[in-house]
Amino acid sequence: MKTIAIGLMTGTSADGIDGVVLEIGEGSFSIRATETLPFKEHMKEAIREISALRIRDRTDAAELDMDLGNLHLEVALKLISKLGPESVNVIGMHGQTVHHSPNTDPPFSIQLGNGQRVAEATGVPVVTDFRASDIAAGGQGAPLAPAFHQAAFSRPGENRAIVNIGGIANITLLPSDSRNNVIGFDSGPGNTLMDGWARKHYSKPFDRNGNIARGGRIQYELLDMLLQDSYLERCPPKSTGLERFNHGWLENRLQAFGKHCTDSDILATLTEFTARTICNDLNHLKPEITTVVLCGGGVHNRLLVELITDKTTARVTDSISGGIDPQWVEASAFAWIADRTLRGLTSTIPSVTGANQPCIAGIVHYPGNRTKHKPAT
Ligand SMILES: Nc1ncnc2c1ncn2[C@@H]1O[C@H](COP(=O)(O)OP(=O)(O)O)[C@@H](O)[C@H]1O
Ligand SMILES: [Mg+2]
């Protein structure tokens, strides 16, 4: 039986919404349409403000929730218009993470983007809050893409690592022997520290292709200080976010470093730092990996990819080799998970998140008029 699912993803980079239409068959899937909507500067600012816990009152968060809901709706409607008469069975909408805190008491993870708004306006069930059930089962609620990575990218006879370089970077180990557990965790910062520096010192959203960093010199003493963060030493399961790796985190270390260096030296050091954190983890994975599959926007930072390729003995490729463009892997994952959720199937992996059981991920928002879409039985 064929299902048509839309996936909408906006990651920690808060650069915009990536959307895909995924056609899912028995053990197969293909991308039928894609759409992206970059956030305007005021929206990025609002997301950063709320993520930094500068919420003035509750209406700020509610307003952003609705604004984000409307932007997600815009992407969903564009995707639906590309499909013709076929109807969409489900929309998986990750939402914008503004706080991820799986290790506090109580643990929580907040994503904004009003799912009910999208359900009402499209007439399609919308799945949101993908992380809550796993956190309730004692897990990190992250990363969630590994089950999809396994479905899309595992190959018999190969120990593969999928590395998604978004704002935060996450790694999935897909062992060739299916009796071994899939492992997945956030390695640490992906683009976020580099993006923050490019924004502050060059008024650019990111260091295009790594060109600015290429002109700087790595400051090894500073690099060592960055590498001492205790998160990097911790064993999985683990997940992190901008609550930890943010501009304040970097400023504290720069102050302690105290030496003068240029803005491009710092960008060069941050790029090397990001590559090292990823490769230190890749090189310690057991079983040893033979192939690294890169995805996420960091794939476009040529310097970063060169550094990663130099630091690992495994063959490095990107997700196009597995049939999915690096930009659409995460959105496809949430389309795929949403379809499973609507059918009552689990899609979280306890060996990844540390939860006490696999969970059905997400909350389903049904449109008020349910005659068109009945819940799956
Ligand atoms: N040409 C490029 N050069 C360098 N970095 C890029 C380029 N294109 C995209 N990026 C990086 O990718 C990020 C967006 O990646 P994405 O996978 O959408 O992350 P997230 O899931 O966190 O939103 C940008 O913020 C930027 O850091
Ligand atoms: Mg993004």
> Looking at residue 318, which CATH number applies to its domain?
3.30.420.40
166 CA distance to ligand 1 centroid (A)?
Answer: 6
Written as six digits, the tokens of 75 are 């992407």
147 CA distance to ligand 2 centroid (A)?
Answer: 20
Q: DSSP readout, 267-299?
A: HHHHHHHHHHHHHHHHHH-SSPPSEEEEESGGG
294 and 350 part of one domain: no
94 and 193 part of one domain: no
pLDDT for the residue numbered 49: 85
The ligand minimizing its distance to the Cα of 195 is 1
* Domain-embedded: residue 371: no
* Domain-embedded: residue 44: yes
The sheet that has 90-93: what strands, in order across it? 28-38, 16-25, 3-9, 90-93, 126-128, 363-365
User: What's at 256, amino acid-wise?
Assistant: A
- Cite the DSSP H helix spans in the chain: 41-51, 58-81, 115-122, 132-136, 146-153, 192-202, 211-214, 220-227, 230-233, 247-257, 263-284, 302-311, 329-342, 350-353
In this predicted model, what pLDDT tens digit does every residue of 194-235 receive, in sequence order? 999 999 999 999 999 999 999 999 999 999 999 999 999 999
pLDDT for the residue numbered 375: 47
26 and 175 part of one domain: no
- Bridge partners (DSSP) of residue 29 are 24
Best mutation site among 10, 15, 208, 327 for ligand 1, i.e. most ligand atoms within 8 A of its Cβ? 15
In this predicted model, what pLDDT tens digit does every residue of 243-270 receive, in sequence order? 899 999 999 999 999 999 999 999 999 9
178: confidence class by pLDDT, cuts 50, 70, 90: confident
User: Left if phi > 0, otherwise alpha if psi is -120 to 50, otherwise beta: which for 287?
Assistant: beta
Q: DSSP readout, 295-364?
A: ESGGGG-HHHHHHHHHH-SSEEEEGGGGTS-GGGHHHHHHHHHHHHHHTT-----HHHH--SS----SEE
124 and 247 part of one domain: no
* Domain-embedded: residue 269: yes
Q: How far apart are CA 9 and CA 95, in angstroms?
A: 7
Q: How far apart are CA 317 and CA 319, in angstroms?
A: 7
Answer yes or no: is the C-beta of 15 below 6 A from any ligand 1 atom: yes
For residue 107, with 0-12 CB atoms within 10 Å meaning exposed, 13-18 middle and 19 or more buried, which class applies? middle
375 CA distance to ligand 2 centroid (A)?
Answer: 30
* Domain-embedded: residue 193: yes
CB 189 within 8 A of CB 172: no
Answer yes or no: is the C-beta of 300 below 6 A from any ligand 1 atom: yes
312 and 181 part of one domain: yes
60: confidence class by pLDDT, cuts 50, 70, 90: confident
Tally of structural domains, the chain: 2
pLDDT for the residue numbered 155: 92
- Bridge partners (DSSP) of residue 185 are 171
Q: How far apart are CA 354 and CA 238, in angstroms?
A: 8
194 and 314 part of one domain: yes
13 vs 60, 175, 190, CA distance in Å? Answer: 20, 29, 9
* Domain-embedded: residue 270: yes
244 and 299 part of one domain: yes
pLDDT at 377 over 50: no
Best mutation site among 301, 306, 324 for ligand 1, i.e. most ligand atoms within 8 A of its Cβ? 301
* Domain-embedded: residue 376: no
Average per-residue pLDDT for the chain? 94
DSSP category for residue 103: T
CB 35 within 8 A of CB 47: no
- Bridge partners (DSSP) of residue 318 are 294
Cis geometry, peptide bond prior to residue 375 (ω within 30 degrees of 0): no
State the residue range of the domain holding 307: 146-326
* Domain-embedded: residue 373: no
58 and 94 part of one domain: yes
281 and 197 part of one domain: yes
113 and 167 part of one domain: no
CB 50 within 8 A of CB 98: yes
171 and 278 part of one domain: yes
15: confidence class by pLDDT, cuts 50, 70, 90: very high
Q: Whose CA is nearest to atom 25 of ligand 1?
A: 13
168 and 314 part of one domain: yes
Question: CB 317: neighbour CB atoms within 10 A?
Answer: 14
Say what the pTM is: 0.94
pLDDT for the residue numbered 27: 82
